[in-house]
Amino acid sequence: MKKLKRPATLFAVITCLLIAGSLAACGGGLQDADTETPPAPGEDAVTPSPTPEPAATASPSPTPTPEPEVELFRYTGVVEHIFFHEVIAWPELAFDGDSGQKGYDDNMVTVSEYNKILQSLHRNNFILVDLNDVWSEYTNEDGARRMRKNTLMLPEGKKPLVISFDDLSFYKYMAGDGFMEKYIIGDDGEIWASGIDPNGNPIISQDHAAITLLDKFVRENPGFSLGGAKGCIALTGYEGILGYRTHTDRGNDTQEFKLNRMQEIARVRPVVQRLKETGWYFATHSFGHINLETASLEKVKDDANRWLNEVGSLVGETKIFIYPFGTRLDGNDVWDTGPALRFYHELGFRIFASVGREPFTRIKPDIAAVMLDRMNCDGITLRNRRERFLRFYDAREVFDPSRPSGGGYTVQW
Ligand SMILES: [Zn+2]
């Protein structure tokens, strides 16, 4: 085995997000807003503060700091790919028996589960890599452009892992259901999340949302990330991004709406920039969370252009498409190459990810594209697919007892 020595300070990222595929609609579905705001006893309430406290440990720095040299080894095996949605900060609000409860139970994990999963992944020697570093485009002997898998250089014994996060938009239907409300830049220049705690008080925290919790975990466990790689953020656009209402509304072109939109765009730009500086990268998840299998070609194209205009303009270029609902372009783009896939290919997309039970990949022989499946980390698999996920974590140890039980809420272990 060939060895290479170089500083472990390469910059990297990660990719992808999606849905419970055939099992359930992505939590980002167009559900009705549940505006109910049940009060709850302050559980692990964090002291609300208008200005975030500085992070307990050193923040990631855009300038590489000297690190000990780590011996790297060639890795050509499987690259695992799992995904999450936004995490549930306050289970008592998500699981309060209202109409949103089942969707949250199916598609989300709680903060407690998420933290345990990250610890287990690290303990099991996984290391975060950037999906963009896993695949590359090249010209073959016939002069055609195709995709191929790269050889990764990893510390000894490490197994590469991509984590993607779907629908990090803080959709309106989630308001009051136990989630934070948006990602912000704190006074320290780092990413924080803001929201309202169960007592109705404003809260700014790094302990209640998916992005900031992973940032914190990597700060405390730098060996969990290759060169600072974090995760792939897959965004729709129909209710803006990251908690900011940056979208247009075809039924509302009032000056007030436009002004608010411009303000939201100005607010989200520094958040996007800091995320990109700290190992995060972006993917499309379609603009409207549309079902690609049933949408007309015309609709797919309109949706794609709207995403590029309203989200791509904020997050920059991406080659990654994380399919909403796990449904594929043209119905079956793994084995066929239809007009919708060709359209996305012309837009520059190369990596197309759905949902599956294994880290399936297929490099297309006729076009520069690679088809992937991702495994869904959520309530459905925690309850019913413990065996399949044991190489990552044990649902029995992770499962949050504050999830609903009885009345159809069961576990298969
Ligand atoms: Zn989704």
Percentage helix, strand, coil for the chain under 3-state DSSP, each rounded to 5 = 25, 20, 50
Per-residue pLDDT reduced to its tens digit, 261-305? 999 999 999 999 999 999 999 999 999 999 999 999 999 999 999
Q: Is residue 2 part of a domain?
A: no
Check whether 182 has a pLDDT greater than 70: yes
Question: What is the pLDDT averaged over residues 339-363?
Answer: 97
What CATH number corresponds to the domain at position 134?
3.20.20.370
Residues with CB in 5 Å of ion ligand 1: 19, 26, 28, 166-167, 324
Q: How many whole angstroms from 41 Cα to the centroid of ligand 1? A: 31
- Cα angle at 280 between 59 and 322, to 5 degrees? 155
The pLDDT score that the predictor gives to residue 68 is 64
Mean pLDDT for all residues in the chain: 87
Q: Is residue 408 part of a domain?
A: no
Per-residue pLDDT reduced to its tens digit, 30-46? 333 332 333 333 333 33
Domain that holds residue 244: 12-398
Q: Is residue 134 part of a domain?
A: yes
Q: How many whole angstroms from 187 Cα to the centroid of ligand 1? A: 31
Q: Is residue 409 part of a domain?
A: no
Q: How many whole angstroms from 165 Cα to the centroid of ligand 1? A: 9
Q: How many whole angstroms from 167 Cα to the centroid of ligand 1? A: 5
The pLDDT score that the predictor gives to residue 253 is 87
The pLDDT score that the predictor gives to residue 188 is 98
Q: Is residue 1 part of a domain?
A: no
Q: How many whole angstroms from 83 Cα to the centroid of ligand 1? A: 11
Q: How many whole angstroms from 324 Cα to the centroid of ligand 1? A: 5
Per-residue pLDDT reduced to its tens digit, 292-341? 999 999 999 999 999 999 999 999 999 999 999 999 999 999 999 999 99
Question: What is the pLDDT averaged over residues 349-360?
Answer: 96
- Alpha-carbon distances of 238 from 31, 93, 225, 303, 306, rounded to whole Å: 13, 25, 32, 10, 9
Q: Is the dihedral of CA 289, 294, 299, 301 positive or negative?
A: positive
Question: What is the pLDDT averaged over residues 252-262?
Answer: 95
Angstrom distance (rounded) from CA 51 to CA 54:
9
DSSP collapsed to 3 states, 274-334: HHHHCCCEEEECCCCCCCCCCCCHHHHHHHHHHHHHHHHHHHCCCCEEECHHHCCCCCCCC
Q: Is residue 120 part of a domain?
A: yes
Domains held by the chain: number: 1
Q: Is residue 219 part of a domain?
A: yes
Element (H, E) at 258: helix 255-277
Per-residue pLDDT reduced to its tens digit, 48-65? 343 443 333 444 445 555
Q: Is residue 368 part of a domain?
A: yes
